[in-house]
Structure 1
Amino acid sequence: MHKPLLVPEFLDRARTHYGDDEAVVATTGERFTYDQLGERADRFSAALQERGIEKGDRVAVLDPNTHYHLEAAYGIMQIGGVHTPLNYRLTPDDFEYILSDAGVDAIYADYDFAERIEAVRDEVPTETFITNDPTEVDGDWESFDGVLEEAGTEYDRPEMAEDEIITINYTSGTTGDPKGVCRTHRCETIHAYLLVAHQEITDDDTYLWTLPMFHANGWGHIFAVTGIGATHVCTRGIDAGEIFETVRSEDVSYMCGAPTVLNMLVDYYEDHEPETTGEREVRLATAGSAPPEATIRTVEDEFGWYLKHVYGATETGPLITTSDARRRFDDDSDDRFRIKKRQGLAYLGTEIRVVDEDGNDVPRDDETLGEVVVRGNQIMEKYWEKPEATEEAFTDRVEGYYHTGDLATIDENGMIAIQDRKKDIIISGGENISSIELEDALFDHPEVSDVAVIPAPSDEWGETPKAFVVPASGDPDDPGVTAGDLEAFTRENLAGYKVVHRVEFVAELPTTATGKVQKYELRQEEWEDEKRMVGQG
């Protein structure tokens, strides 16, 4: 039997089996059952259709982790609209590009961020503008709650096919222009199934949203947590003290957090020694850079939480590997740190290979470096309207595999460990930063003659952008501009998380005979005291 895999069915299942059970703990203090969450999603579906939104139209969501995001997402997808979540840390210029590139027809934006959309309103194709508090926003914006009240609950759910695009998640990638990662009903559904299995999600879980919902649909948790009938606890930001208090007061059993979040929690714990659990044990998934052993030890031995290290990219679902291989370590042994610092082994139904430049598998000796390529049902369909980038991503070294750009070793058990990156990218605090985009911004400064940006080690962020700048004056001792000036300049022109925080003035950059900048030499020097050339927490 073949039954289409369709994303709206996650909420359908929760309403059928858990209608009277708590679905969402809102940031406003309100609590919603699955019946109530479903009704609000139905009303948003009806409201969108009344405003002319049809199957296949893109609808953007710009929101911190509130109940509005969940309602909007399912309201969009129930009518076959394409859920297009936006990174709330971007600038108005970024939003102008994305809204125009995706041809977004309608947007819901939280009042804290709507002004960045209002600033480019006349330059984008969007016609419907909805926010949760119009009194806090300049311009003509409709009220989310008002729209729901007027709409009613009746809407037409169109025929849908599992191979149709249902979400577009924009990633900054390695160039200045963001790329829209297109994902189908099928790949979102299978990824959610994998999450339920590997993250051991059950209907009595209480999930704390410390991970942004816009990040690859919250790593798929807007689907998995909903479909299994667990409880979402929403947040409006990351505060270590509030996280510990919420874990205790709401009896949180599962959460995710980048290594930077773990660092914040460890620092707070050392200063305040808060209670770390409610009545239940806590599982925590972390991704991106591998946490240092000291962080894992504190989280597990002091907090009493169980840490799972996972890995992937927006294009891959995101999650494709896990270090949670319990036949490979003893929970009470320090051997577990060696395993948990690795990106790990493949998820179910996922094929991970580490290949050389000719596309051949490297030896499983945990020494030979190769690129991680992956094949699985959770991998993206394509980049939105970027056929050449799509073709390259799936054909560079091996035909039919997505090429991650991460360089790794692989051991005898098939467990990978990321060592370096092929892509010209920096991952700081879980956010992708394009080195090229930063260089382009710095080149616009009149006192900059040449520049190369690389990732530098950071205890707080894993890695952070560092710029090697050849000043227009030609004299690194008298550059005519300060590092603080250049930091401020990038802050004026880029999203806050992309700001360059380290600057070194140099007389020249290392180049090849043809004049190409040798960033690898800069990285080797910068990372010479580290075991690998990627951030570790």
Structure 2
Amino acid sequence: MYYPLTVRDFLDRAAHVYPDRVAVVDEPEQPGPSLGEPTYRELAALARAQAAKLDQLDVPVGGRVAVISQNSARLLTSFFGVSGWGRVLVPVNFRLTQPEIDYIVRHSGASVVYADASCADVLDTLDVKHKFVLGDDEDLFLRDTEPRDWAAPDESATASVNYTSGTTARPKGVQLTHRNLWLNSTVFGLHTTISDRDVYLHTLPMFHANGWGMPYGVTGVGGRHIVLRQIDGAEILRRVERHGVTLMCAAPAVLNAVLDAAADWEGEIPGRDRVRIVCAGAPPPTRTIERVMGELGWEFIQIYGLTETSPLVTVNRGREEWDDLEPTDRARRLGRAGVPALGVRVDVDVDGEVLTASNHNLDGYWDQPEETAKAQAGGWFHTGDGGYLDDKGYLVISDRKKDVIISGGENVSSIEVEDVITSHQAVREVAVIGIPDAKWGELVTALVVTDGSGVTAEELIAHCRTRLAGFKTPKRVDFVESLPRTATGKLQKFKLREPFWRE
């Protein structure tokens, strides 16, 4: 018997098995009203009410619904209220600038856009049929009305389109199917051993690769979601203590924020021997991993993946054979990207590019068939990352062939930043690279050739702030006499990166 896998399965199970259990603790301090602490019965009712509202707006199956929001219970609801009834969720990074959001909404063809109250002004310029502010719940929910059934649930249907920065200034819309998301979240949950005893703190943006699948997986096992809108190391520790948090996912910058806060924490660090923290983005230094395990007493798990892979590709979790190793040696082993997750195949081609094949891989890039064919050539997804498999079968990422910088867990297109910098009249040439940074993983750095007019680094950074989201704006500007190029004029960025990454 064939039964289609859809993301609604996770909420349906939670509402059936744990109806009276608190599902989510919404952020108490936010611009709009908090949803408080709805149970799984209430969360399921909210999802149905959202689907009923979309029925009222005549949004068809397959219609796109964009949500621009920081972490919130309403965004969590939308993972099910939109996709669970056959529509397509388009989660948008709230940190993006107005032109970037305009492009994503227009390119995706969204007919409905919800925006968090903190960024409601972005709605003003959007040419969209229906625009609403999250928190005005009459616009989000049609209560006491059952939504129309999804007549023919299809696990191959697109469930979400997630826009990611690439090697061009224009982001690409990654189409993830219900099957992609269902299997990714289930396999992720298996490797991180989630259960109904888990309390999950959303330190990872929910919009980022659909929260890596945790909004689905934690819901399916009846775990409790704790919403966190703003990253603050001390506040993370307070919520770990207050709510009994057991699990979180984070970029390296979050690890550093918590470690910094722990230095001033009075009393025992909360969550010792209880919290599991899953890290991805750019591998943190060995010393950082060692400090997480030693100073915090938390279990450190490393993963590798991309938005295009839903995102899970490899997992690196401590194993029994490492229990007696010295902390530094154990941390060094955990610094690798890891081994393929269950059902995932990983290979490295003759050029050193990491390839992967799995049920988690994207269906395609939205409305970009040529890019899709290129990325999936030969039946493998071409990650654009350089790496190798060591003698134990562990994947090690050695470089990023796409020139994408991963700073604070967010992808930054170097070409996009270069375009903005070169729009300044004093700039003749520029190369933007990522250099190693203990806090951000990679630091967005611009190497600039000027016209000699005396422009300062501060002036160029200020210029970028007017055109780029904060996480894309260079944190460092170095002035150079010239940039290395090939005989055909191609910029040799590997020569620029080499001095910074040599060690």
Q: Return the TM-score normalized by structure 1.
A: 0.89
Instruction: Give the structure 1 partner of residue 349 of structure 2.
Output: 355
The answer on 1:99 being equivalent to 2:105 is: yes
Instruction: Give the structure 2 partner of residue 156 of structure 1.
Output: 148
Q: 1:127 aligns with which of 110, 126, 129?
A: 129
CA deviations over 1:328-358 (Å, ceiling 9, x no partner): 422663332121010010000000112213x
Instruction: Give the structure 2 partner of residue 366 of structure 1.
Output: none
Alignment partner of 2:184: what SS?
helix
Q: 1:504 aligns with which of 471, 475, 478?
A: 478
Matches within 5 A, 1:184-203: 184-203=177-196
Equivalent residue letter for 1:7: V
Instruction: Please state how far the C-alpha of 1:148 moved relative to its aligned partner.
Output: 5.3
Point out the more displaced range, 485-494 or 456-465. 456-465
Once residues 384 and 266 of structure 2 are traced to their aligned partners in structure 1, the CA distance between those partners, rounded to angstroms, is: 40
Alpha-carbon contact 1:207-1:253 (below 8 Å) kept? yes
Q: 2:222 aligns with which of 204, 216, 229?
A: 229
Alpha-carbon contact 1:92-1:117 (below 8 Å) kept? no
The answer on 1:459 being equivalent to 2:459 is: no
CA deviations over 1:2-44 (Å, ceiling 9, x no partner): 2211111111111111111110111137211100111111111
Instruction: Give the structure 1 partner of residue 71 of structure 2.
Output: 65
Alpha-carbon contact 1:451-1:467 (below 8 Å) kept? yes
Gaps of 5+ in 2: 29-33
Alignment partner of 2:317: what SS?
coil
Alpha-carbon contact 1:85-1:168 (below 8 Å) kept? yes
Instruction: Please state how far the C-alpha of 1:157 moved relative to its aligned partner.
Output: 1.9
Instruction: Please state how far the C-alpha of 1:274 moved relative to its aligned partner.
Output: 5.2
Instruction: Give the structure 2 partner of residue 447 of structure 1.
Output: 426
Once residues 376 and 2 of structure 1 are traced to their aligned partners in structure 2, the CA distance between those partners, rounded to angstroms, is: 20
CA deviations over 1:348-375 (Å, ceiling 9, x no partner): 0000112213xxxxxxxxxxxx211000
Once residues 288 and 478 of structure 2 are traced to their aligned partners in structure 1, the CA distance between those partners, rounded to angstroms, is: 30
Alpha-carbon contact 1:426-1:463 (below 8 Å) kept? yes
Equivalent residue letter for 1:486: L
Instruction: Give the structure 1 partner of residue 358 of structure 2.
Output: 376
Instruction: Give the structure 1 partner of residue 92 of structure 2.
Output: 86
Alignment partner of 1:31: what SS?
coil
Q: 2:408 aligns with which of 424, 429, 450?
A: 429
Instruction: Give the structure 1 partner of residue 17 of structure 2.
Output: 17
Alpha-carbon contact 1:40-1:148 (below 8 Å) kept? no
Alpha-carbon contact 1:78-1:157 (below 8 Å) kept? no
Alignment partner of 2:44: what SS?
helix
Instruction: Give the structure 1 partner of residue 31 of structure 2.
Output: none
Instruction: Give the structure 2 partner of residue 410 of structure 1.
Output: 389
The answer on 1:304 being equivalent to 2:278 is: no
Point out the more displaced range, 153-162 or 237-246. 153-162
Alignment partner of 1:272: what SS?
coil
Once residues 515 and 311 of structure 1 are traced to their aligned partners in structure 2, the CA distance between those partners, rounded to angstroms, is: 34
Instruction: Give the structure 1 partner of residue 456 of structure 2.
Output: 482
Once residues 90 and 331 of structure 1 are traced to their aligned partners in structure 2, the CA distance between those partners, rounded to angstroms, is: 46
Point out the more displaced range, 19-28 or 145-154. 145-154
Gaps of 5+ in 1: 134-142, 358-369, 474-478, 531-537
Alpha-carbon contact 1:248-1:275 (below 8 Å) kept? no
Equivalent residue letter for 2:366: W
Alignment partner of 1:94: what SS?
helix
Once residues 313 and 149 of structure 1 are traced to their aligned partners in structure 2, the CA distance between those partners, rounded to angstroms, is: 32
Instruction: Please state how far the C-alpha of 1:275 moved relative to its aligned partner.
Output: 3.8
Alignment partner of 2:499: what SS?
helix
Equivalent residue letter for 2:132: I
Alignment partner of 2:7: what SS?
coil
Instruction: Please state how far the C-alpha of 1:89 moved relative to its aligned partner.
Output: 0.7
CA deviations over 1:37-90 (Å, ceiling 9, x no partner): 111111111111101111000001111111010112211112211011000110
Once residues 500 and 405 of structure 2 are traced to their aligned partners in structure 1, the CA distance between those partners, rounded to angstroms, is: 14
CA RMSD of aligned residues (A): 1.6
Equivalent residue letter for 2:46: R
Instruction: Please state how far the C-alpha of 1:272 moved relative to its aligned partner.
Output: 2.7
Once residues 434 and 141 of structure 2 are traced to their aligned partners in structure 1, the CA distance between those partners, rounded to angstroms, is: 49
Alpha-carbon contact 1:60-1:106 (below 8 Å) kept? yes
Equivalent residue letter for 2:307: T
Once residues 207 and 88 of structure 1 are traced to their aligned partners in structure 2, the CA distance between those partners, rounded to angstroms, is: 22
Alignment partner of 2:183: what SS?
helix
Instruction: Please state how far the C-alpha of 1:279 moved relative to its aligned partner.
Output: 8.7
Instruction: Please state how far the C-alpha of 1:327 moved relative to its aligned partner.
Output: 4.4
Q: 1:146 aligns with which of 132, 138, 150?
A: 138
Equivalent residue letter for 2:97: T
Once residues 274 and 181 of structure 1 are traced to their aligned partners in structure 2, the CA distance between those partners, rounded to angstroms, is: 45
Once residues 80 and 248 of structure 1 are traced to their aligned partners in structure 2, the CA distance between those partners, rounded to angstroms, is: 38
Alpha-carbon contact 1:251-1:279 (below 8 Å) kept? no
Alignment partner of 1:242: what SS?
helix
Instruction: Give the structure 1 partner of residue 258 of structure 2.
Output: 265
Once residues 501 and 325 of structure 2 are traced to their aligned partners in structure 1, the CA distance between those partners, rounded to angstroms, is: 32
Once residues 149 and 324 of structure 2 are traced to their aligned partners in structure 1, the CA distance between those partners, rounded to angstroms, is: 48
Q: 1:54 aligns with which of 56, 60, 79?
A: 60
Once residues 303 and 315 of structure 2 are traced to their aligned partners in structure 1, the CA distance between those partners, rounded to angstroms, is: 4
Once residues 402 and 71 of structure 1 are traced to their aligned partners in structure 2, the CA distance between those partners, rounded to angstroms, is: 31
Alignment partner of 2:471: what SS?
helix
CA deviations over 1:283-336 (Å, ceiling 9, x no partner): 110112222222222211221111111110100110111111514422663332
Alignment partner of 1:497: what SS?
coil
Point out the more displaced range, 324-333 or 205-214. 324-333
Alpha-carbon contact 2:273-2:297 (below 8 Å) kept? no
Equivalent residue letter for 1:165: T
In the alignment of these two chains, the number of paired residues is: 495
Once residues 266 and 287 of structure 2 are traced to their aligned partners in structure 1, the CA distance between those partners, rounded to angstroms, is: 17
Matches within 5 A, 1:318-337: 318-324=311-317, 326-330=319-323, 333-334=326-327, 335-337=329-331
Once residues 187 and 222 of structure 2 are traced to their aligned partners in structure 1, the CA distance between those partners, rounded to angstroms, is: 16
Runs of 4+ in structure 1 deviating by more than 3 angstroms, as ranges, are 147-151
CA deviations over 1:143-190 (Å, ceiling 9, x no partner): 2x2235654331112122111111111001111000000011111100
Once residues 257 and 242 of structure 1 are traced to their aligned partners in structure 2, the CA distance between those partners, rounded to angstroms, is: 15
Equivalent residue letter for 2:230: G
Alignment partner of 2:263: what SS?
helix
Once residues 155 and 420 of structure 1 are traced to their aligned partners in structure 2, the CA distance between those partners, rounded to angstroms, is: 48
Instruction: Please state how far the C-alpha of 1:273 moved relative to its aligned partner.
Output: 4.3
Change (3 A) 1:307 1:13: same
